[in-house]
Amino acid sequence: MKTQPNFLRLYFNYKLALLALAFITLTACSNKEKSEPKDAEDIPVSREMIAELTAPPHVPTPVGRRKAKKLIVDMEILEEEGEMTNGVSYVYWTFGGSVPGSFIRTRVGDEVEFHLKNHPDNKLPHNIDLHAVNGPGGGAESSFVAPGHEKVFSFKVLNPGLYVYHCATAPVGMHIANGMYGLILVEPEGGLPLVDKEYYLMQGDFYTKGAHGERGLQAFDMQKAIDEKADYVVFNGKVGALTGDNAITANVGETVRLFLGNGGPNLVSSFHVIGEIFDKVHVEGGDLINTNVQTTLIPAGGAAIVEFKVEVPGTFIMVDHSIFRAFNKGALGMLKVEGEENKKIYSGELRDDIYLPEGGGIQTMPEGDNVVQEAPLQSLEEQLERGKQAYMQTCFACHQSEGQGIPSAFPPLANSDYLNADVDRAIGVVLNGLTGEITVNGETYNSVMTRQSLSPSEVANVLTYVYNSWGNSKKVITTAMVEKVRNQK
Amino acid sequence: MLKKTYILLCMAFLLQLTAFGQVTTNMVHIRGGSYIPLYGRDSSMVEVDDFLMDKLPVTNRQYVDFVKQYPEWQRSKVKGLFADQMYLRNWKNDTLLEDTEHLKSPITYVSWFAASKYCECQGKRLPTVDEWEYVAMADEELADARVKKTYNEKILSWYEAPKTSTYEVGRNPENFWGVKDLHDLVWEWTSDFNSILITGESRKDVDKDSSLFCGSAAVGVTDLMNYAAFMRYAFRGSITARYSIKNLGFRCVQDVPVE
């Protein structure tokens, strides 16, 4: 509006050359204000562009304000052996060499020219069904490609949102179960609002001939897949893809956006970040925005975008809150946040008080308290039996039934050099908890064990059980030893 | 002119074969019968007559001999219509394999045209899908082992194992008929590989030809065997006769003359 008088003034005051310049400025301005055609189908494309593809957990650069383009997507299918977890390998079928496949980032109106290449070493034909495509089979029909060949097809993206793509060649379930899925994002005109950090996570369930953790190359188990009895439920294709050194990171005060998908083939994900609340969720990856969400559901073959600001430092565990999948099957990732503590938002532990429900109110137990509890003498057998019970109730969830722990998340107790090296230290860990980096059997762990609510005799029993199991040093811990460590503090 | 000599050559070969009494030691006799193919639904029985089948897939060595005898099938001379540019890609030149390849490995990177011609010149032909599947449903003990869970699992695990085409032929035990390596080395050409139309959109094929595809996506829960078959049919559906592929070889069969 305001340019009009300016323009008129220019017209009267300056020469023709300047007029032309002003005219260009004007057109540029008016173009900016004018939005694109209402119908995504009519959005014109200018120029060609090679799509940036990224392996998880990374995502390509945001589209920002760029215009719709002809986008060339070059994707190669590879069948290759990879690691499912320590000592367990699996033959993955992949889009672009990773599970999930390469992330594709487009904007509404883009005309995608898709090149699907099936590596000559591959054994099987494949294709791709992109949920972002309007057309039969989502492209599957036009992309059915034999090993050593390349198929090309194109489509215009019309609906903004986050979409799953996957292979749809018979047997479809098997192709998906072997890792053939990924995400394609269609940003609205002008792009999604910019945030500080963006990551790409996709859940999948795996079915292996051997049980969870059985070593060696594991074949796909069709019967388990049909029965929907997953051996592994993981983020980004393997156990530990997002823990330890592979954890995703952010700084205090930053807003994190996660592009979440679920390849299935069978299970639905209840995605939750322990200790965070999603400020914003694009429900099922679409336009609907929900706010202040604790856990969001991601259907198999579906997606969601979640955003949250991280206020305090620490390690935030991402899980499928169908919780046995997280602690026993691998669906666990970590977000490490660095920065200043904020005691107002989260204080950490302030006090440890004794709670006596009957009379007397609340008493505070002073530090260095010297009370010795009467503990009846027990035989070693009794100690082991009670220790095992306490273990199954308190320790099992993280350290697992055979003390094997969970790679990159929870250290093993079986054959543990850290455990056997120092008994008093081990007692202290159970009594007081342990936070920070430790090295166990050559692997580095950096997580949190809380203090355990066990009586000194229970601590003695559980540690005796642990020391007398799984190849450990067979030490016997007495209540007196526990008391000694407790009173040192 | 050339064609005539060519036919004559083939004929001569045939005559020679007949003279030797037809059954060479490299072939085994398959007793015909009827069966319901893996993909079948109700009573779509298939009849197979008696025939002879190569015990082993055609090897690199045999194919080298073939192209020496029939230079028109050498890599530099083959007609584009009959083989794509991947034809014999793992060869150094027209008559020599790359150093990394083994003479005893199955020949791959051959088109359907080339495979058909090879068999023709031996006085043989490519098996039909029905014949191939009939023999392939045997394991070491049974002519039809499809009911065994282990049989299907074994086949599926091969389909998943990468890079098996470089193994030598004959490494696996003979099946019920005395045939080896049907499932464990390479895919094999069949004469009518493309007679079953699948679109590539496997889920849609459900209503394409219901007698053949009772729904790849809606496979009966008990019918695990279908998965192995679906993978073979998917593979056959993805290729055309010119394709020359790393994991695709062939073997020949021969009719048993009616007495």
ipTM of the complex in this document: 0.74
Q: Are both A203 and A321 inside the same structural domain?
A: yes
Residue B24 confidence class, pLDDT cut points 50, 70, 90: low
Domain-located, residue A366: no
Q: Are both A397 and A479 inside the same structural domain?
A: yes
Q: What is the CA radius of gyration of chain A?
A: 29
Is pLDDT of B66 > 90?
yes
A147, A171, A226 ranked by CB distance to B247: nearest: A147
Distance from CA of A269 to the nearest CA of B (A): 22
Residue B10 confidence class, pLDDT cut points 50, 70, 90: low
For the segment A196-208, the average pLDDT, to the nearest whole number, is 97
**In B, which residues are within 8 Å of A137 by CB distance?**
201, 203-204
Q: Are both A176 and A272 inside the same structural domain?
A: yes
The predicted pLDDT at position A308 comes to 97
Q: Are both A10 and A144 inside the same structural domain?
A: no
| Higher pLDDT among residues B44 and B154, named by residue | B154
The predicted pLDDT at position A364 comes to 46
The predicted pLDDT at position B69 comes to 95
For the segment B29-37, the average pLDDT, to the nearest whole number, is 88
Domain-located, residue A361: no
Q: Please check whether residue B239 touches A, CB under 8 A.
A: yes
pLDDT tens for A252-275 read: 999 999 999 999 999 999 999 999
Q: Please check whether residue B204 touches A, CB under 8 A.
A: yes
Domain-located, residue B9: no
Domain, as residue range, for B227: 24-255
C-alpha A140, offset from chain centre: 28
Domain-located, residue B12: no
pLDDT more than 70, % of chain A:
88
Domain-located, residue B10: no
Is A212 within any annotated ligand binding site? no
Domain-located, residue A358: no
Residue B7 confidence class, pLDDT cut points 50, 70, 90: low
Residue A374 confidence class, pLDDT cut points 50, 70, 90: very low
B153, B162, B199 ranked by CB distance to A80: nearest: B162
Q: CATH no. for residue A469?
A: 1.10.760.10
Burial A460-475 (b: 16+ CB within 10 A, else e): bbbbbbbbbbeebeee
Distance from CA of B12 to the nearest CA of A (A): 37
| Structure tokens, A402 | 């055979």
Q: Does B235 sit within 8 Å of A146, measured CB to CB?
A: yes
Q: Which helix (H) or strand (E) holds A390?
A: helix A380-394
Q: Which of B170, B164, B167, B152 is nearest to B227 (CA)?
A: B152
Q: Are both A24 and A42 inside the same structural domain?
A: no
Domain-located, residue A359: no
Q: Please check whether residue B241 touches A, CB under 8 A.
A: no
The predicted pLDDT at position B98 comes to 92
For the segment A208-234, the average pLDDT, to the nearest whole number, is 90
The predicted pLDDT at position A369 comes to 43
Residue B211 confidence class, pLDDT cut points 50, 70, 90: very low
Q: Does B238 sit within 8 Å of A226, measured CB to CB?
A: no
Q: Are both A164 and A77 inside the same structural domain?
A: yes
Distance from CA of B169 to the nearest CA of A (A): 18
Q: Are both A153 and A105 inside the same structural domain?
A: yes
pLDDT tens for A427-464 read: 888 888 888 888 898 888 887 787 777 788 888 889 99
Average pLDDT, whole number, for chain B?
A: 80
C-alpha A474, offset from chain centre: 38
For the segment B50-73, the average pLDDT, to the nearest whole number, is 95
Domain count, chain A: 3
Domain count, chain B: 1
Is A180 within any annotated ligand binding site? yes
Q: Are both A214 and A291 inside the same structural domain?
A: yes
Q: Are both A19 and A94 inside the same structural domain?
A: no
Domain, as residue range, for A26: 3-33
The string of DSSP codes covering chain B is -HHHHHHHHHHHHHHHHHHTTS--TTEEEE--EEE--TT--SS--EEE--EEEESSPPBHHHHHHHHHH-GGGSTTTS-TTTS-TTTTTTBSSSS-B-TTS-TTSBP-S--HHHHHHHHHHTT-BPPPHHHHHHHHT--SS-S--TT-HHHHHHHHHHHHSS--TTSPTT-SPP-TTS---TTTS-EE--TTTTSS---S-TTGGGGT-TTT-S-STT--TT-THHHHHHHHHHHHHH--TT---TTEE---EEEPPP-
Domain-located, residue A373: no
Q: Are both A337 and A411 inside the same structural domain?
A: no
Distance from CA of B52 to the nearest CA of A (A): 28
Q: Are both A206 and A223 inside the same structural domain?
A: yes
Q: CATH no. for residue A169?
A: 2.60.40.420
Q: Does A222 sit within 8 Å of B202, measured CB to CB?
A: no
Is A119 within any annotated ligand binding site? no
By mean pLDDT, which of A47-56, A106-115, A369-378, B248-257 is the weakest? Answer: A369-378
Domain-located, residue B18: no
Q: Does B199 sit within 8 Å of A171, measured CB to CB?
A: no
